[in-house]
Amino acid sequence: MDIKSVSVIGAGQMGNGIAQVFAGADFEVRLYDISKDALDKGIATVIKNLDRAIARSTITEADKTRTLGNITPVTTLAECGTVDLVIEAATERETIKQAIFEDILPHIGKDTILTSNTSSISITRLASRTDRPERFMGLHFMNPVPIMQLVELIRGIATDDATYNAVNAVVEKIGKTSSTAEDFPAFIVNRILMPMINEAIYTLYEGVGNVQSIDTSLKLGANHPMGPLELADFIGLDTCLAIMNVLHDGLADTKYRPCPLLTKYVEAGWLGRKTKRGFYDYRGDFPVPTR
């Protein structure tokens, strides 16, 4: 199947980046969000990203105009249906994702491929709630999408070869590199990354080190570009907690138990950069550790 048109469901942190890279590769893109404000904010983020790329001389003004011309903002799922590929990029909550797929089914063609950008939820289970489990798979981009090279491809138990090959070809067309993961909780990247972040939070919780010492130790001692607590704030602490809960529930191993301090921060609404407070306070000119 030659995929030329794409609908991205969700214009948030991941969705607008996915829309940008597809539009930049000359796919026809429809960007949907239930909130008009979120949709406007998503388009504004794409424009900001493109302006940064122009400043770095990696694209031209003509590239920016072409990319934006390939994106059509839409506010109904009915407008998302007549495409070759649907990419769901909504909040990391299974009930929300299931509702999106159920609502879009009446509007899509028989050959449309459905994918989810979920970072941890069972692809097989999501696919089973649709009318096309053989044409459903995981398409997990890394954040920030325009910069990060990797895309995880996850086959559900029913995903057929034609669907996998078509989606894999799309990843190549947008200039990304794919890795194939089996459909187990959190796949590859987050199966490894999130327990490390959770362990860093336990290290803070148990008083082994403060926020600054933990992040400095991993940046300078392990040559990580970001410390684990800084990275958790960037990802979103609610997302980190959701993935740890999927790991803990799905694998039934106590080593995946979310740190109580992570739960406490999420309960407080301190979710990281997006709420201006997490393990760092971002309300001033410079991030300040909160512990």
Q: Which amino acid is at 80?
A: C
At 144-188, the pLDDT tens digits run 999 999 999 999 999 999 999 999 999 999 999 999 999 999 999
Q: Which of 140, 158, 181 is the last residue of a domain?
A: 181
Planar angle of CA 258, 264, 266, nearest 5 degrees: 85
The CATH number of the domain holding residue 102 is 3.40.50.720
Helices (H) and strands (E) in the chain, counts: 11, 10
Cis peptide leading into residue 287 (ω within 30°): no
In a domain, 169, yes or no: yes
Q: Which of 116, 149, 181 is the last residue of a domain?
A: 181
Q: Indicate if 213 belongs to the active site.
A: no
Express as a percent the part of the chain with pLDDT over 70.
100
At 220-279, the pLDDT tens digits run 999 999 999 999 999 999 999 999 999 999 999 999 999 999 999 999 999 999 999 999
How many domains does the structure of the chain reveal?
A: 2
Stated length of the chain: 291
* Listed residue (101, 104, 113, 102) closest to 80, CA to CA: 104
Same domain, 52 and 196: no
pLDDT in the model for residue 1: 76
Q: Where are the beta strands (DSSP E) in the chain?
A: 5-9, 28-32, 71-74, 85-88, 113-116, 136-141, 150-155, 177-181, 280-281, 288-289
In a domain, 75, yes or no: yes
Q: How far is CA 1 from CA 135, 152, 170, 259, in A?
A: 11, 20, 10, 45
Same domain, 91 and 38: yes
Active-site hit among 70, 92, 116, 140? 140
Same domain, 27 and 169: yes
Same domain, 102 and 174: yes
Q: How far is CA 201 from CA 71, 143, 161, 223, in A?
A: 39, 21, 40, 19
The tokens of 214 are what?
């933990």
Same domain, 174 and 199: no
Same domain, 16 and 145: yes
With beta carbons less than 8 A apart as the criterion, state whether 98 and 120 touch.
no
Same domain, 150 and 246: no
Same domain, 53 and 147: yes
Q: Indicate if 172 belongs to the active site.
A: no
The CATH number of the domain holding residue 225 is 1.10.1040.10
At 117-141, the pLDDT tens digits run 999 899 999 999 999 999 999 999 9
3-state secondary structure of 14: coil
In a domain, 135, yes or no: yes
Same domain, 89 and 146: yes
Active-site hit among 70, 116, 190, 198? 190
Q: How far apart, in whole angstroms, are the C-alpha atoms of residue 116 and residue 22? A: 15
Q: How far apart, in whole angstroms, are the C-alpha atoms of residue 17 and residue 13? A: 7
Residue 198 has pLDDT above 90, yes or no: yes
Active-site hit among 16, 119, 122, 178? 119
Q: Indicate if 94 belongs to the active site.
A: no
pLDDT band at 108 (very low <50, low <70, confident <90, very high): very high
Range of the domain at 200: 191-289
In a domain, 161, yes or no: yes
In a domain, 248, yes or no: yes
| DSSP summary character for residue 113 | E
pTM of the model: 0.90
Same domain, 283 and 248: yes
Active-site hit among 152, 178, 198, 230? 152
Same domain, 234 and 162: no
In a domain, 186, yes or no: no
Q: Which of 130, 160, 181 is the last residue of a domain?
A: 181
In a domain, 274, yes or no: yes
Same domain, 173 and 208: no
pLDDT band at 207 (very low <50, low <70, confident <90, very high): very high
Please identify which residue in the block is written with the tokens 């899509």: 108
In a domain, 157, yes or no: yes
Any residues with CB less than 8 A from the CB of 62 and at least 6 apart, and which? Answer: none
Express as a percent the part of the chain with pLDDT over 90.
97
CA 55 to chain centre: 26
pLDDT in the model for residue 155: 97
